[in-house]
Amino acid sequence: MDALGKKSAAYICYLIVNISWYISCLFPIIVPFGLLNIYLGNHNPEMVFGVTVPVDTSELLPDAIDKSYLAMKSAQVMIDFNYIISNSPASYIAWALFICIAIGLMLFGLYQLRALLKTAVHETVFNKANVCRIKTIAILIILIEPLSWIYSFIAASFDPIVEMKFELQILLIGLNFGYFLVGLLIYSLATVFERGYEIYQEQKLTV
Amino acid sequence: MKILGRWSVISFINFWVQLMWAGVAVMLCLLPLSFIFQFLGVSFVLIDLPINFSGAILSERLTIAGQESSVLFIDFVSTSYLPAIFQEGLNWPVSIITLAQMAGLGFILYGLSQLKKVLRNLWREKPFADENHSHLKVIAVMIMLISPLLYGYHWLSYWYFETYVDAQSLEAAYPNFDISYLIMGLIVLVIAEIFRQATEIHKEQKLTV
């Protein structure tokens, strides 16, 4: 399979990213409107909607289960919007703002990737804009982990308002180097790409 | 910030990849031992198996006192278990799992070796080395293969859990197919091709000079 040009790997990627892009374009319209609607009290009580938060799993398994063989890795609970708004509206607003910013950043990253793949399909990859695009994508990937920390800090602010039958702690996410290393690697590849672009420019001038 | 060469960003990434490679190599050396022990009557598995549960069975423990239903579980809860404990004189299911884990670790080790080669070239400030694009292509194909392999591994774990584990009320959820690795692999394939083109341009430029 060819990697660049039409009917290639780049083209398949471009199609998938393009579909994701058009679907994601609906988010900045639907999500803020929906969140505002919920805040103003127009939320349908029949619908199950809420804030998803990671929780401490140490006490989640029922007592009857033998815990010597089963180790819980992760669990997420959904706290109902109405409950949060009635108990802590400020936490809800902070969470909603964070979600809107995160959607904005995701869309920005997706747009950069889409533009990059578009040039790959048209076989005009070596241009200055692509260097910036790859660097932007790398920085956004590096930002994923700090953003998840911020999310878990906001989620942790729900902890005091949720009184459980048993001790339930909303979890702070630990250190995960994965995204950081991938981001750095892409940034490094962007530098290599920049060198490639410079050589390409020199070659064009020579010819 | 220095990107390529010694004491650079690449050097830092290379260090982490080397460390991961060493960790995987050690695990791969230990797994055959556990495989041999199966036939000596000692049954143990070093790496635990992933299994997901439907959150519904735990919802009883997550209702807020005095409230109707403010806290709800979403789709599933991710857990892991050690399979050897449930053995009842049968060695072959655990042996299959050990073999699958060995194959998986070998696969990861080979992928990391390819990545190490690319990083070494970048560390030596030879980004346009001939072999870089072929290493990247191998990495791309391997990343694409992760999705079906991981899906198969999850099914193996699900089959073992359903067949041999007496989990009382716990109901395991079906594994999900993760498409993200396929897309990631395709993107790496595109990067590999860009590398190939850059290498060609670099060669031509060298010839021109």
Flag whether residue A182 sits within 8 Å of chain B, measured between CB atoms: no
Tell me whether residues A48 and B189 touch, CB distance under 8 A. no
Mutate to test the interface with B, among A52, A69, A123, A130 (most CBs of B within 10 A): A69
Shortest Cα–Cα distance, A98 to chain B (Å): 21
Q: For residue B116, give every residue at least 6 positions away whose Cβ sits within 8 Å of its Cβ, in sequence order, or none.
A: B14, B17, B18, B21
Q: How high is the ipTM of this complex? A: 0.74
Q: What is the pLDDT of residue A60?
A: 66
Shortest Cα–Cα distance, A206 to chain B (Å): 8
- Burial class of residue B87 (count of CB atoms within 10 Å of its CB; 0-12, 13-18, 19+): middle
Please give the model's pTM, rounded to 2 decimal places.
Answer: 0.79
A-B Cβ pairs (cutoff 8 Å, strict): 170
SS3 track for chain B: CCCCCCCCHHHHHHHHHHHHHHHHHHHHHHHHHHHHHHCCCCCCCCCCEEEEEEHHHHHHHHCECCCCCCEEECCEEEEEECHHHHCCCCCHHHHHHHHHHHHHHHHHHHHHHHHHHHHHHHHCCCCCCCCHHHHHHHHHHHHHHHHHHHHHHHHHHHHHHHHHCCCCCCCECCCCCCCHHHHHHHHHHHHHHHHHHHHHHHHHHHHHC
Confidence of residue A120 (pLDDT cuts 50, 70, 90): confident
Tell me whether residues B3 and A77 touch, CB distance under 8 A. no
The dihedrals phi and psi of A158, each to the nearest 5 degrees, come to -80, -20
Higher pLDDT, A163 or A25: A25
Q: For residue A46, give the chain B residue with the closest CA.
A: B69
Shortest Cα–Cα distance, B32 to chain A (Å): 22
Name every chain B residue with its beta carbon within 8 A of the beta carbon of A181.
13, 16
- Of A19, A52, A27, nearest to A173 by C-alpha is A52
Task: Pick the range with the lowest mean pLDDT from A1-5, A91-95, B4-8.
Answer: A1-5
Q: What is the pLDDT of residue B66?
A: 46
Shortest Cα–Cα distance, B179 to chain A (Å): 11
Name every chain B residue with its beta carbon within 8 A of the beta carbon of A126.
197-198, 201
Q: Residues of chain B with pLDDT > 90: what percent? A: 20
What would the pLDDT profile of B159-186 be if each residue is shown by its tens digit? 888 887 776 667 788 888 888 888 888 8
CA dihedral B115, B101, B177, B22 (to 10 degrees): -30
What would the pLDDT profile of A53-92 be if each residue is shown by its tens digit? 777 666 666 666 666 667 777 777 777 777 778 777 888 8
